[in-house]
Structures are given as C-alpha cells and as structure tokens.
Structure 1
Amino acid sequence: MTRPRLLVAVGTDKHPFDRLVEWLREWHAEVAGAVVLTVQHGHTRVTGLPDAVPFLGHAELQAAMAAADLVVCHGGPATILEARRHGHLPIVVPRDPAQGEHVDDHQLLFARRLGAAGLIALCESRRELLDALAAGLADRSRFTVPVDTAAVSGQRAAVRRVAVIVEDLVAAAAQRPHRAWWRPWRGPGPEERRNR
C-alpha cells in the first residue's frame, strides 16, 4: 500500500506561521513513516520536517496539489480555491493576527464562513487539526470534493482572453508615434537668469 501524500501550504505572506508548522512537526514525529509530507513554509523557520521548502512556483504548487491525497493550508482564499479545484476539501488553519501571523483577521472570517458552509475542514486548534489529519488518513474520501471541470476550462478561457488583450495593447502601443516622456534640461530659463 502506498503512503498517503500530504501537502501543507502556508502561503507567501511575510509573517511566519510558527503555530501551524510546530503542530505539524509534533504530529509528523508521531507518524513519520506513515505519510509522505511536503511542506511549503514561506517565511516560517522549519526544523525536523522533511521535504520542507520556503516557496513553490505556481506550476509546482499545482503539481503538488494534484499529487496530494490531503491538503492542509492557511486561510488564503486563492490557496483554498486551488485546493478545491484539484478535488480536495482542504484542511484549513487560518492565520491569527493576535498571534502575529497576519496583519488582520480576514483569514479567520473567510475560513469561518467557508467552514460553516462545509466548503473546508476548519481547524482553529491543534486538537481539531490532529483530528482532521487522523480522519483523513483513515478515510481520504472524506476530504475530497468533485472536480469542477467547468471552472478549469473557464480559467483557461480567461487566461486566453487576457493574453489577447495584452497582445492588442502591445501592438497598439508599438504603432503609436514615439513621444519623449522627458525633455533635456537646458539650464535656468530667462526669468531665472534675471533674478540671479
């Protein structure tokens, strides 16, 4: 039997997310050989976690999400939506500004709203996270959602539309006559010379 793959993504915010990383480090010490763990830790210092990387490029993150059996992430809207797009019910630990993890409470508010709607597995405590991880390892299907293929094709269509707009803007700019946006300074004008 293959070991389940767990992806943890804390995002790119400049604030460290020590609380989540510490909870995961303690948990991983107990289940070390049972899971394949990838941790994108951002600006958080990490010790004792294998396959920990500060950042993943967009394509790398997409590949990691596609390969993962479970996704744990911060409460960033884009990360949550990407996880769902890949068929995951993400296990979400929102950043808490009271603990220096973010500038405001938008992640808490957003995650609580999604948690109440059943769109994420909200974990605001260590115990909730450990329970969600145990449930996910016992039955991975509890943390899956149907993949929305229409959203994927819609995203691709939007990218194509933006590409056409950018190409049109660049082409239009190339056809306009060049106008200097600055003029060389020729020294003080006649009025300034008289006042010397």
Structure 2
Amino acid sequence: MSGDVSPDPGRIRLLVAVGTDKHPFDRLVDWLREWHGEVADAVVLTVQHGHTRAAGLPDAAPFLGHAELQAAMAAADLVVCHGGPATILEARRHGHLPIVVPRDPARGEHVDDHQLLFARRLGAAGLVALCESRRELLDALAAGLCDRSRFTVTVDADAADGRRAAVRRVGVIVEDLVAAAAQRPHQPWWRPWRGPGPDGRRNR
C-alpha cells in the first residue's frame, strides 16, 4: 500500500475491509472490482482483502496493522466492510456509517451465520447500511458518491465510557447469536483472560 492518506480534491476516498477470516470473500471483492472499473476517475480505493484474491484492484493489501487501519479509517470518506463487529465499531468510531456486506456461510465465506444475523440487527437499528446483494451495494455506493454525508455519524471523541459500553453490548449480541447457532454452552468472547479457573481450564 502507498500509505498516502493525504486528501485528493474532487475524488471520494473509499476504504474496503474484509477482515482477517481465513475464508475468502470473493463475492464482495468481485462486485467492487467491476464497480471500480466504471468510477476509477472519481474514487481513490484502498482495499484490505485478507485471504481473498484482489488482482486488478489498486492500493490493495492482504492485511493492515492497527495504526494503518486507523489512518485509513480516518482518511476515508466511505467505508465498506464485512460484518465483523470490531471493524464495524472502528468505522463508527471514526464517524462512518459503514456499508456492510456480511459474509454468508452458504457461499463458503464464513464458518457460521453470526455475521448475517448481527448485521441484520444493526441494519434494522440504523447503525449500518446493510447490503446483502450486489444491487444494494451498488445503490449505496452511488448514494455515497453523490452525498458522502449520508454515510457519516456524529462522534463524541471524549465518550470513552460510552465506547466501552458499546463494545460490551456488541459482545453480548455476538455471543447470543453464536450460542443460538451452536446450541451449546459458551464463554463471552469479550471477557479478558484471567488465567486458569478452579478446574484448571482457561477462563476468558
């Protein structure tokens, strides 16, 4: 990646983040590759593509370090991402209403359907712009090119306590979804590791 986050007058800066899951997300990247070929003069595209092929896309990298991702989020006008809770929270923290295309396990994009269920909950609450089809994604991108303010949210930079509460709420939603899908006891994913418990098993 170029690492250049300076503004480019007249062009929309679009960040695409598919996360780090081992499953490829060819569907999203292929949609964006086709779309970008039609709007390349109007868009500066940055793509974090993970284990997905990204041939033909400019400024593409499989993974971004934390600082790089923060810089890309801060510089972007629009953010398109998978349905990962951490990515969605980071996008909103940087003032974006993320355009979310959740991974679909029926297409080999994830191990289960918790991204679909989670993204649908957030979409119904107006916390993300949910896109489950190519047409929905293209419509959202067209709207963003016309008026990027439609995909911004107000951020209180001092609301650290509120952010921690939001992370906890997201953790509860995700663990409930995963537990419902697996139908088995589970440990909340957001609890810090506290060492072995009385039975010698690891607690998180």
Does TM-score exceed 0.5, indicating one fold?
Answer: yes
Q: Could you tell me how far apart the structure 1 residues matched to 2:54 and 2:46 are?
A: 12
Q: Would you say the 8 A contact 2:119–2:130 is kept in 1?
A: yes
Deviation at 1:150, TM superposition (A): 3.1
Query: How far apart are residue 155 of structure 1 and its match?
Result: 6.5
Map residues 7-18 of structure 1 onto 2, 5 A cutoff. Answer: 7-18=15-26
Question: Does structure 1 residue 125 correspond to structure 2 residue 133?
Answer: yes
What are the equivalent positions in structure 2 for 1:112-191 lying under 5 Å apart? 112-152=120-160
Structure 2 gaps, min length 5? 1-8, 165-204
Aligned-residue RMSD, C-alpha: 1.4
The equivalent position to 2:62 in structure 1, one of 54, 69, 73, is 54
Q: Secondary structure at the match of 1:71?
A: strand
| 1-structure distance, mates of 2:160, 2:71 | 15
Classify the secondary structure of the residue corresponding to 2:155. Answer: coil
CA distance in 1, matches of 2:46, 2:69: 10
Deviations along 1:38-60, one digit per CA (max 9) or x if unpaired, are 00000001111000100000110
Q: Deviations 1:66-113 (Å, cap 9, x if unpaired)?
A: 000000000000000000000000000000000000000000000000
In the superposition, the TM-score normalised over structure 2's length comes to 0.74
Unaligned runs of 5+ in 1: 157-196
CA contact under 8 A between 2:10 and 2:42: conserved in structure 1?
Answer: no
Write the distance in 2 (CA, Å) between the matches of 1:152 and 1:70.
Answer: 23
TM-aligned CA deviation for residue 149 of structure 1 = 1.6
**Count of aligned residue pairs for this structure pair:** 156
Among 78, 98, 102, which residue is 1:94 paired with?
102
- TM-score for the superposition, normalised by structure 1: 0.77
Single out whichever of 140-149 and 104-113 deviates more from structure 2: 140-149
User: How far apart are the structure 2 equivalents of 1:146 and 1:155?
Assistant: 13
Q: Is the 8 A contact 2:14 2:46 kept in 1?
A: yes
Query: Percent of aligned positions with the same letter in both sequences?
Result: 88
Could you say if the C-alpha distance between residues 155 and 141 of structure 1 is closer, same or farther in structure 2, counting changes exceeding 3 Å? closer
- Cα displacement (A) at 1:33: 1.3
- How far apart are 1:19 and its partner, in Å? 0.2
Letter in 1 for 2:69: L
Measured against aligned partners, the alpha-carbon deviations of 1:117-156 in whole angstroms (never above 9, x if no partner) come to 0000000000000000000010000000001323347769
Decide whether the 8 Å contact of 1:70 with 1:90 is kept in 2: yes
Max Rg structure: 1
